[in-house]
Amino acid sequence: MGVEKGMREKARIMDQQGIGRALTRIAHEIIERNKGTDNLVIIGIRRRGVPLASRLAERIKEIEGSSVPVGVLDITLYRDDLSTLSQQPVVHQTEVKFSVQDKKVVLVDDVLYTGRTIRAALDAIIDLGRPSVIQLAALVDRGHRELPIRADYVGKNVPTSRKEVIAVQLEEIDGEDGVLILENG
Amino acid sequence: MTLQGKDLLGLLHKTESEIEYILDTAVPMKEIISRPLKKVPTLRGRTIVNVFYEPSTRTRTSFELAAKYLSADSVNISGSASSVVKGESLVDTARTVKALGADIIVVRHAMAGAAELMARTVSASVINAGDGAHEHPTQALLDMFTVREAKGTLKGLEVAIIGDITHSRVARSDIWGFSRMGARVRVCGPPTMIPHGIDTMGCKIFDKVEDALEGADVVIVLRIQNERQQQGLFPGLREYANMYGINSKRLGLAAPDALLMHPGPINRGVELTGEVADGQQSLIETQVTNGVAVRMAILYLLAGGGDANVPVD
Amino acid sequence: MSLLIKNGIIIDPCAENRAVKDILVENGKIAGVSEHLTAPEAEVLDATDKLVTPGLVDMHVHLREPGFEAKETVQTGTLAALKGGFTSVACMPNTYPVADNASVIRYILGRAQEAGNAKVYPVGAITKNSEGSELAPMAELKEAGAVAFSDDGKPVNDAAVMRRAMEYAKMLDAVIISHCEESTLAGGVMHEGTISTMLGLKGIPAAAEEVMVARDVILARLTGCRLHIAHVSTAGSVQIIREAKSRGIKVTAETTPHHFTLTHDYVHGYDTATKVNPPLRAPEDVEAILAGLADGTIDVIATDHAPHTEEEKNVEYDLAPFGLVGLETAVGLVWSQLVLPGFLTAEQAVAKLSLNPARILGVPAGSLEVGAPADITIIEPRQEWEVNPESFASKGKNTPFAGRKLTGKPVMTLVNGTRF
């Protein structure tokens, strides 16, 4: 999530190097857990999960020498809050140009919070086919889960209050890398 | 970005950005239709009622599938099966359909303004699926979507609409839509079927079909209704085919990569030959597929409900 | 009982100059008009800064009775007339049954007497059941009280029938009021033009009216009958009538407040209150109507008051009946659209709303002379008000002017000296 208007920066908890190290570690963990890259695919959740998924795929290629397919998932049509919104959120395209059938899918998002986005993403992936396993990678886990969902790979656990906002900034979208804690102010 | 108003009644008052928003939303919808499992849970629990006072297999089926792909419940009320034939007024039918729980009403009617009357009567969203000779906005939107998909943009394109313009709601919506999106629209047909002052809507009138086709990037051919002959608006189908029918020779006058479209159903051998209808330039089948995607986009965009604006997590 | 109206601005189309005068009303008649009248016994009504005019005459209304009492009755229609400043109305014969026989005429007059509101002058049908084929018993109708003849609502399509009707009417010294519409060209629901094209509604071309105006003018020349063209709506009609008048043909004409105020633009949105026949026309037609009013080509302003029920009007535009109510908005529209912008003087406007229609119909109205019936309208010319159909006395709420701000309002009407 980018920096929202009217929010004050409270702390910068990760910088470019920190994010880089976390992603490298997660890439190693993914390879280790899955015993290589066979049948592995990576799917990023729009928006900031998408560049993170690409970066993970690059690192895996650097380590293992093999390319892992990367897809883009838009979960808007699977959200559980559509009927409560005053206007419909913009729908973007899901671009998963490979079959997920019997694949090991690593789902990537920037922040894991209530778990509702992941719930929607799981439904969205399953509508595309039946993977053999789905794992979740999140750059930041800030707690406050509302659903029984946990991440398999976490860049950084950050205890937060609900009033705070975690803003992940990525070069591809925001021009620079960083993770901030914001507060109303 | 948002659509103005609760309804989609026509394109006259739609802005360029609203049209673009609908077309952009139809892109991911088309991806869903291409999946083996063509269903998303988006409109679960929403009820869509198709009220069709005129027979229309195509448009009705298209709306019905669009609703189903989005997991909405949809039911059809057709002119022959409902109280419509028992003389119930449109206003009463609208109120009844709303009372039954409809969130969106899709209406097709032989009389201009019927959708607007329904929209004024009920709080549900109303989508005009064709009202008399007034507008058929979803057809024009799928036409624009199809052209944009093929050409990348609508700006600067020459769009020729050939046929009975007077009785065509498709022509009117296409004229508003394409010209708002930066295309230039030409219309051509027998003088008895070119309505008074149509050029004030922002199109150019051509008497000769050859002139209308010359250099056109898009050729939209309209269906010619047999009954117009009985009304004395043209002397006969053969003469019509001779003077205005689109064949490969005439299509050759258009730009080399011109697209051929038709809202269907086609009268082969009358307004266009089978050869061009099935030819390489024809997008007639693509239009049908795209119609579902565009209608999914419209259903989705109009189904926005509650008051709270919950941020995305 | 007598009444003294003090210090009003007298607008009398018959008088030379406008002046502030007093009017004494005695026994239902005008007993005196002059400056500084005194009448110790009389009740005094202060009309300072108000216009005092002859009671207005609307020569084209539909009271709907007998037959369509859900739309309007003689009682409600004449009450609406009084509220609108009209002390006399001529009602069209398209009732059920049609006023093509003496008993219907007598029935209407009886209902009018019971109501005791504005004076009612029935118009008899030209043809039986207004079907345009056989002549109605015109002499009998006149004997029963019909003041003119019309098949209003429908044209007399057959030129030979119209010719015979005119010959008969001439003999009776009655006027033929012609609803000019060539049916084979008409058949639409609004003016044929750019807006009908946009809205996809079937148009009624201006030519449908003009062809018939031309025919009837030619027949009036042939027969010598007095012809009155109802609800003129197009520039072409104005031109034909202007030329006919210049050639000495006995033709008069009326237009309506909606035709000098609204254009076909108002049909956008498919509000069926704008569905009227003849239809709201193009801006150039409205300009020609204004010019025709100003140069005297159009003699009369009549409302074509045509009430319908909510249920009848709240339908598809194609299915809605033609017509709108006009009695209670006419004076406001005449002042707002014609007098205040300077198209007409107050005297000219009042002439077109009283003296001229009275003369055409041959009814005793339109004058403030001593001895005339005390039919008087008092207008507050600067009063601003907003049209609210719910406050109408008419049963019909079908007006395209709802919510419109107008200037000029009738504040009192007297019929035979009785105040309303």
In whole angstroms, what is the distance from residue C128 CA to residue C117 CA? 30
Subunit contact B31:A86, Cβ cutoff 8 A: no
Residue B178 near residue B159, CB atoms below 8 Å: yes
Give the residue among A45, A3, A55, A50 at the shortest CA–CA distance from A24: A55
Residue B157 near residue B184, CB atoms below 8 Å: yes
Cβ atoms < 10 Å from Cβ of B15: 12
Q: What is the pLDDT of residue B285?
A: 96
Q: What is the pLDDT of residue B56?
A: 87
Q: Phi, psi at residue A112, to the nearest 5°? A: -100, 125
Residue C22: its H or E element? strand C19-26
Long-range CB pairs of B95-100 (<8 Å, 24+ gap) are B95/B121, B95/B122, B97/B49, B97/B51, B97/B122, B97/B124, B98/B122, B98/B123, B98/B124, B100/B47, B100/B49
In whole angstroms, what is the distance from residue B298 CA to residue B137 CA? 10
Residue C97 near residue C68, CB atoms below 8 Å: no
Give the residue among C80, C18, C54, C94 at the shortest CA–CA distance from C330: C80
- B214 Cβ contact list (under 8 Å, min separation 6): B253, B254
Reading the block at residue C236, the tokens are: 């072409």
Q: Phi, psi at residue B29, to the nearest 5°? A: -65, -40
Spacing of C-alpha A35 from chain mean position: 22
Residue B230 near residue B271, CB atoms below 8 Å: no
- DSSP codes of every residue in B94-119: HHHHHHTT-SEEEEEESSTTHHHHHH
Q: What is the pLDDT of residue A130?
A: 96
Where do we find the tokens 């838009």? A74
**HSE-up (13 A, CA, CB side) for residue C23:** 34
Chain B within 8 Å of C315 (Cβ-Cβ)?
A: yes
Look at the alpha carbons of C292, C293, C298, C299 in this order and tell me if their dihedral is positive or negative.
negative
- C235 Cβ contact list (under 8 Å, min separation 6): C206, C284, C285, C287, C288, C289
Tell me which chain B residues have a C-beta less than 8 angstroms from the C-beta of C279.
none
Q: Is the peptide bond before A150 cis (omega within 30 degrees of 0)?
A: no
Interface of A with B in 69-128 (CB under 8 A): 74, 77-79, 81-95, 111, 113-114, 116-117, 123-124, 127-128
In whole angstroms, what is the distance from residue B290 CA to residue B141 CA? 9
> Chain B: residue nearest A126 by CA?
B37
Reading the block at residue B146, the tokens are: 């199809």
- HEC states along B142-161? HHHHHHHHHHCCCCCCEEEE
Q: What is the pLDDT of residue A185?
A: 67
In whole angstroms, what is the distance from residue B74 CA to residue B76 CA? 7
Chain C within 8 Å of B203 (Cβ-Cβ)?
A: no
On whether ipTM exceeds 0.95, the answer is no
What is the pLDDT averaged over residues A77-90? 83
Residue B292 near residue B17, CB atoms below 8 Å: no
Q: What is the pLDDT of residue A4?
A: 60
Q: What is the pLDDT of residue C413?
A: 98
In whole angstroms, what is the distance from residue B98 CA to residue B87 CA? 18
Q: What is the pLDDT of residue A176?
A: 95
Chain B within 8 Å of C113 (Cβ-Cβ)?
A: no
Q: Is the peptide bond before C257 cis (omega within 30 degrees of 0)?
A: no
Active site residues of C: 304
Indicate the pLDDT class of residue A3, thresholds 50, 70 and 90: low
Subunit contact B196:C203, Cβ cutoff 8 A: yes
Tell me which chain B residues have a C-beta less than 8 angstroms from the C-beta of C194.
196-197, 200-201
The domain locations on chain C are 55-369
Subunit contact A77:B25, Cβ cutoff 8 A: no
A-B contacts at Cβ under 8 angstroms = 78
**Which residue among A83, A94, A95 places its CB closest to the CB of B305?**
A83
Q: Strand A178-184 vs strand A7-14: parallel, antiparallel, or unpaired?
A: antiparallel
Listed in sequence order, the DSSP H helices in C145-282 are 159-171, 194-199, 206-223, 235-246, 257-261
Q: What is the pLDDT of residue C203?
A: 96
Residue C327 near residue C84, CB atoms below 8 Å: yes
Q: Which chains touch B (3 or more CB pairs under 8 A)?
A: A, C
- C172 Cβ contact list (under 8 Å, min separation 6): C138, C139, C142
Tell me which chain C residues have a C-beta less than 8 angstroms from the C-beta of B169.
200
Interface of C with B in 368-387 (CB under 8 A): none
Tell me which chain C residues have a C-beta less than 8 angstroms from the C-beta of B133.
200-201
What is the pLDDT averaged over residues A31-39? 96
Residue C408 near residue C340, CB atoms below 8 Å: yes
Reading the block at residue C250, the tokens are: 């006995």
Residues constituting chain B: 313
Chain B within 8 Å of C318 (Cβ-Cβ)?
A: yes
Residue C74 near residue C111, CB atoms below 8 Å: yes
In chain B, which residues have pLDDT < 50? Answer: 305-313
Reading the block at residue A141, the tokens are: 């886990």
Give the residue among B152, B185, B158 at the shortest CA–CA distance from B11: B185
In whole angstroms, what is the distance from residue B110 CA to residue B112 CA? 7
Look at the alpha carbons of B40, B43, B47, B50 in this order and tell me if their dihedral is positive or negative.
negative
In whole angstroms, what is the distance from residue C420 CA to residue C413 CA? 5
In whole angstroms, what is the distance from residue A102 CA to residue A124 CA? 16
Question: How is domain C55-369 classified at the architecture level of CATH?
Answer: Alpha-Beta Barrel (3.20)
Rg of chain A, C-alpha, whole Å: 16
Degrees to nearest 5, angle at CA B76 with B73 and B79: 165
Look at C73 and A81; give whichever has higher pLDDT.
C73
Q: Which chains touch A (3 or more CB pairs under 8 A)?
A: B
Question: Taking 60 as the threshold, does the pLDDT of residue A1 lie above it?
Answer: no
> What SS3 class is residue C206?
helix
Where do we find the tokens 């910088």? A15
Give the residue among B312, B227, B295 at the shortest CA–CA distance from B68: B295
Give the residue among C1, C3, C2, C21 at the shortest CA–CA distance from C11: C21
Q: What is the pLDDT of residue C340?
A: 97
> Letter for the amino acid at B1?
M
pTM above 0.90, yes or no: yes
Q: What is the pLDDT of residue B312?
A: 40
Predicted confidence pLDDT, tens digits, chain C (420 residues): 799 999 999 999 988 778 999 999 999 999 999 999 989 899 999 999 999 999 999 999 999 999 999 999 999 999 999 999 999 999 999 999 999 999 999 999 999 999 999 999 999 999 999 999 999 999 999 999 999 999 999 999 999 999 999 999 999 999 999 999 999 999 999 999 999 999 999 999 999 999 999 999 999 999 999 999 999 999 999 999 999 999 999 999 999 999 999 999 999 999 999 999 999 999 999 999 999 999 999 999 999 999 999 999 999 999 999 999 999 999 999 999 999 999 999 999 999 999 999 999 999 999 999 999 999 999 999 999 999 999 999 999 999 999 999 999 999 999 999 999
Residue B4 near residue B22, CB atoms below 8 Å: no
Give the residue among C259, C283, C198 at the shortest CA–CA distance from C400: C259
> What SS3 class is residue C183?
coil
Reading the block at residue C208, the tokens are: 């449908």
Residue B58 near residue B264, CB atoms below 8 Å: yes
Residue B20: its H or E element? helix B16-33
Subunit contact C196:B91, Cβ cutoff 8 A: no
Indicate the pLDDT class of residue A2, thresholds 50, 70 and 90: low
Subunit contact B200:C196, Cβ cutoff 8 A: no
Maximal CA-CA distance, chain C: 67
Reading the block at residue A20, the tokens are: 């880089």
> Chain A: residue nearest B309 by CA?
A85
Domains and CATH numbers, chain A: 17-82+89-162 (3.40.50.2020)
Residue B20 near residue B148, CB atoms below 8 Å: no
- C248 Cβ contact list (under 8 Å, min separation 6): none
Interface test with B, best of A48, A75, A76, A83 (most B CBs within 10 A): A83
Give the residue among C303, C295, C411, C412 at the shortest CA–CA distance from C357: C303
Subunit contact B31:A128, Cβ cutoff 8 A: no
Q: Phi, psi at residue C391, to the nearest 5°? A: -90, 0
Maximal CA-CA distance, chain B: 65
**HSE-up (13 A, CA, CB side) for residue B190:** 21
